[in-house]
Amino acid sequence: MKVLVSALEPSSNLHLKELLEYSNNIELYGIFSKNLGHPIYDISDMAIMGFVDAIKKYRWFKSILDEMVELAKGVDRVLLMDSSGFNLPLAKKIKKYYPNIEIIYYILPQVWASREYRVKKIEKYCDKIFATLPFEVELYSKAQFVGHPLLDEIYLQKNRVSNNGIISFMPGSRRGEISYLFPIYRELVKVLPNLKEAILIVPSTFSLEQIDELYGDTSSFIISRDTHKSLYKSDFAFICSGTATLEASLIGTPFVLSYIAKKIDYFIAKNILKIKEIGLANIILRHHNNTVLHNELLQSDVNIENLLNEYNSINREKFLERTKVLKKYLNRGSSKFVGEYISNSYTPLN
């Protein structure tokens, strides 16, 4: 089974790795982590941050899209994961030139947050729509809720509040995110009370050279590439937006989201796209029972004083109780079903 994959995000590749555990006789082509095979482009080549970066690299992305369409003519299925800015134009072109190739969208774009018009495009160009959030199926006429992959990937879960002085820091996976947040985190460790161990969690794909280049001085931190174990052993975490916020939530580690975007990107997100919350756990619980799990500090609010206040004032017991509600709502993992579906060996879900 030859499968063309378009998985541009680090989180998507973690989910891709998990579903491959349940598939067999699969040959991957396209864009994904080089740790999973031999892509035409590694995900590190595709990293962008915000609308401005996307515009600057438009011509380059367009040429890559054409390469992907050329690859599609020799595959059995197409698997799209997240990244709708690239994957929807790709789906449109593949469907035009190769209408009989099945296109699967797994890890759907966040149409519930902004640009709901993408629903019609996804339904027009994609044959299978696999939703990982229960409320996503309400937006589509043919989406199927398959569970969430993090419930397959996370084996460490807290059942009580800890207080051991270990804190994790996750300043993102993109150059821009790291350059904005890590200098603040580096100053923060100097004033955190009762700090015994500061863990800097970096993407598993980063080399030592990349870590030196992107982070600079990391002498105050212990560097870890194991997100789940590091979050599990930590009392608290300071996290950039992204899948990491949901990982910490499901593990049960209290945290505060902190995010600094380029001013034009922030203006577009807030005033044009009308995005209100960016933490995935908050968005999920808002849809489920109109509650939130954690606070979000954005732009100029990301400062030492506010970060310290979040660390000192968060209700850890309340946080832990709401993570249980979150996990129950997400219901089940999705990797087994999707992996077996791609291999033509699946059992239909109830």
Q: In this structure, what are the phi and psi dihedrals at residue 130, rounded to the nearest 5 degrees?
A: -105, 110
Give the model's confidence band at 350: pLDDT under 50 very low, under 70 low, under 90 confident, else very high.
low
User: Could you tell me if residue 172 is left (phi over 0), alpha (psi between -120 and 50 degrees) or otherwise beta?
Assistant: left
Mean pLDDT, residues 192-199 taken together? 95
More confident of the two residues 2 and 277: 2
Query: Does residue 44 have a pLDDT over 80?
Result: no
Contact 249, 173 (CB under 8 A): no
Q: Going by DSSP bridges, is the β-strand pair 2-7/27-31 parallel, antiparallel, or unpaired?
A: parallel
Residues paired with residue 131 on neighbouring β-strands, in sequence order: 145
The residue to which tokens 């006789």 are assigned: 25
pLDDT for res 206: 87
pTM, two decimals, is 0.85
Q: Which domains does the chain have, with CATH numbers?
A: 2-148+333-342 (3.40.50), 166-330 (3.40.50.2000)
Average pLDDT for the chain: 89
State the sign of the Cα–Cα–Cα–Cα dihedral 156, 161, 162, 167. positive
For residue 278, what pLDDT is reported? 75
Task: Sort residue 96 into left (φ over 0), alpha (ψ -120 to 50) or beta.
Answer: alpha
Tens-place pLDDT, residues 200-214: 999 887 889 999 999
Whole-number pLDDT of residue 201: 97
Task: Find the length of the chain.
Answer: 350
In the chain, pLDDT over 70 holds for what percent of residues?
89
Strands (E), 23-163: 27-31, 77-81, 102-106, 128-131, 143-145
The pLDDT of residue 270 is 55
Q: What is the pLDDT of residues 88-109, one digit of tens each?
A: 999 999 999 999 999 999 999 8
Q: With 90 as the cut, is the pLDDT of residue 182 above it? A: yes
pLDDT reported for residue 262: 67
